[in-house]
Amino acid sequence: MCGTCGCGSETNGVVIQNPLELKNQQHHLQNHEHHHEHHHQGHSHGHEHTHEGHSHGHEHTHHKTVLEIEQDILQHNDIMAARNKGYFEAKNIFALNLVSSPGSGKTALLERTLKDLKKDLSFYVIEGDQQTLNDANRIAAVGIPVLQINTGKGCHLESDMIYDAVKKLNINDNSILMIENVGNLVCPSMFNLGESKRVVIISTTEGEDKPLKYPDMFHTSDICIVNKIDLIPYLQFDIEQLKENASKVNPHLQFFELSATTGEGMEAWYHWLKENRITLK
Amino acid sequence: MHELSVALGIVKIAEDETKKANASTVELIELEIGELAGIELESLNFVWPSAVKDTVLENAVKKIIIIKGKAKCIDCDTEFGITHFYDACPKCESNFKGILKGKELRVKALEVV
C-alpha cells in the first residue's frame, strides 16, 4: 500500500517537479494518466498475491517461531537521512529543514532571504507541499534553482524524497540548501531529512502556547524564528511568554525575532546564516 | 497523520522478517512505543486495518508495550519521570535534561508461522 493515497500500489505517489522545466512541457496531463494506470495494475497484482500466500500457509503444519526483532520503525528514514547528511557534509552544503504551521511565513521568509543574500551566497531550495507548484514558482521567480515535492496526501517530507530531489538538483559545493517542509506542526518532527539544522518558524498570530501544545517540533529544532513581529501592536501576544514556553520544551533553542514583510530583524538571521555556513568549512 | 507512515514502516519490517524466516504469516506482533515518541495510539489503531490489509500482518494480533518517559537532569543529575517535554526537574526546576526513555518506536518481536 502506498503511504500517499492509500492505494494498493507499491510505488509512492510522491511527485518531484522542476517549475522551469514544466513550463516547456505540455505532457502534464498524460503523465497523470500514466500514474493512475500504474496504481490499478498494482491493485490487481496485490490481490492475486495474497490469495496464493493464504493457501500456501494452510498447507504447512503450524509451528510458531518467535522472532526477536528490536528494530526501529523509522530505521529506513534514519538510514536515508544519514546518506543525505554524508552527501551534504562531503560537499560542504549547509542544509536547513524549515518547519512550521501552514501560513507562518516560511515561503515569505525564504523569498526575502534569497533576494537579499543571493549575491553573496549560493542557494538551492526544495519545496514540500501536498499540492501545487505555487511555492516553487515563487522561489523560481527570485532566480534560485528549486524543485517542488508534492506529497499528495502525505503530511510531511521523508528522507528518501530529499534523496531523490537532491540528485536532480545537482547542488554546487559550499551552497546552502533550504528545505521547506509541508506546513504542519506535528508530523514533520519525527522525520529526520539529514539536515544540518532544523528551523521552526512561528508567527505572532499563532499564540504563545503553541510550543506547549506541539512540543515535539520545538524539542527537535535548533533555531526558532518568530515571524510577523510587525503585527505585535495589533495583537494580544506576549513574545517573552512564547520564548519562555519554547525554552521549557527545548532550553537549547536559539531565537530570532523578525518580520519577513518589513525586513525588521532580518540582519541577525542573515548574520547567523553566514556565520554557520563559514564554520562548516 | 504520520501514523500511516509509521504503520507502513511496521508492515515493511514484518514483511521482510517473515520472508527471511521462510514463514507465511504473522500471528502476533509486539511493538514498543514510548510516551514521548509522538505517536497517537488512537490514530495508529485507526489506520492499522487499512495498512495491514493484504499483508502478512492482516490477521496478526497487535500488542503495544507503552514505555513511560524518563529523564535525567543535566544540572543536578536527578532521574525523574516525565510525561511532557516541558516537564522540569522536580528537584532543581531546571529544564535542561537528557531523555533516557520514552522515545522508543520499535518492533520488538514477531510470532510467525
Any idea which residue has 512505543 for its cell?
A: B33
A35-69 exposure pattern, b = at least 16 Cβ within 10 A, e = fewer: eeeebeebeeebeeeeeeeeeeeeeeeeeeeebeb
Q: Give yes or no for residue A39 having a pLDDT over 60.
A: no
pTM to 2 decimal places: 0.84
What pLDDT was estimated at residue A62?
Answer: 62
pLDDT of residue A153: 81
The yes-or-no verdict on residue A126 having pLDDT over 60 is yes
Which chain B residue lies closest to A2 (C-alpha atoms)? Answer: B8
pLDDT tier for residue A24 given thresholds of 50, 70 and 90: confident
The mean pLDDT of chain B is: 95
At residue A2, does pLDDT exceed 90?
A: no
Segment A233-249 mean pLDDT: 96
Average pLDDT, stretch A120-146?
94
The pLDDT assigned to A218 comes to 97
Quick check: A245 and A207 in contact, CB under 8 A? no
- Taking the Cβ of residue B68 and every Cβ of chain A, the question of whether any pair is shorter than 8 Å is answered with no
The candidate with the shortest Cα–Cα distance to A249, out of A275, A274, A223, A214, is A214
Residues of chain B positioned with their CB less than 8 A from the CB of A69? 13, 17, 106-110
CB A161 within 8 Å of CB A149: yes
State yes or no: pLDDT of A33 exceeds 50. no
CA-to-CA distance for A30 and A98, rounded, in angstroms? 33
Q: Which of B9, B86, B108 sits opposite A74 (nearest CB)?
A: B9
Q: Is the pLDDT of residue A167 over 70?
A: yes
At residue A42 the predicted structure's pLDDT band, cuts being 50, 70 and 90, is: very low
Sorting pLDDT into bands at 50, 70 and 90, what band is A13? confident
**Given CB atoms, is B73 within the 8 Å cutoff of chain A?**
no
Q: What pLDDT is stored for residue A3 in this prediction?
A: 54
pLDDT higher than threshold 60 for residue A51: no
Nearest neighbour of B38 by CB, restricted to A65, A66, A190:
A190
Grid cell locating A235: 495583537
Report pLDDT for A14: 87
pLDDT band at A118; cut points 50, 70, 90: very high
Rounded CA-CA distance A52/B24 in Å is: 10
Give the pLDDT of residue A64: 86
Q: What is the mean pLDDT of chain A?
A: 86
Chain B residues close to A3, C-beta within 8 Å = 4-5, 8
Substitution target in A67, A190, A242 with the highest count of B β-carbons within 10 Å is A67
**3 state DSSP class of A90:** helix
Over residues A242-262, the mean pLDDT reads: 97
pLDDT at B39 (0 to 100): 92
Beta bridge partners of residue A150, listed in sequence order: A15, A129
Chain A contact for B29 (CB, 8 A cutoff) = no
Residue A209 confidence (pLDDT): 95
Quote the pLDDT of residue A278. Answer: 66
Mean pLDDT, to the nearest integer, of A165-190?
94
pLDDT band, very low/low/confident/very high, at A38 (cuts 50, 70, 90):
very low
Question: Positive or negative, the Cα torsion across A146, A147, A152, A155?
Answer: negative
- Is pLDDT above 70 for A88? yes
In the predicted model, residues of chain B with pLDDT beneath 70 are: 1
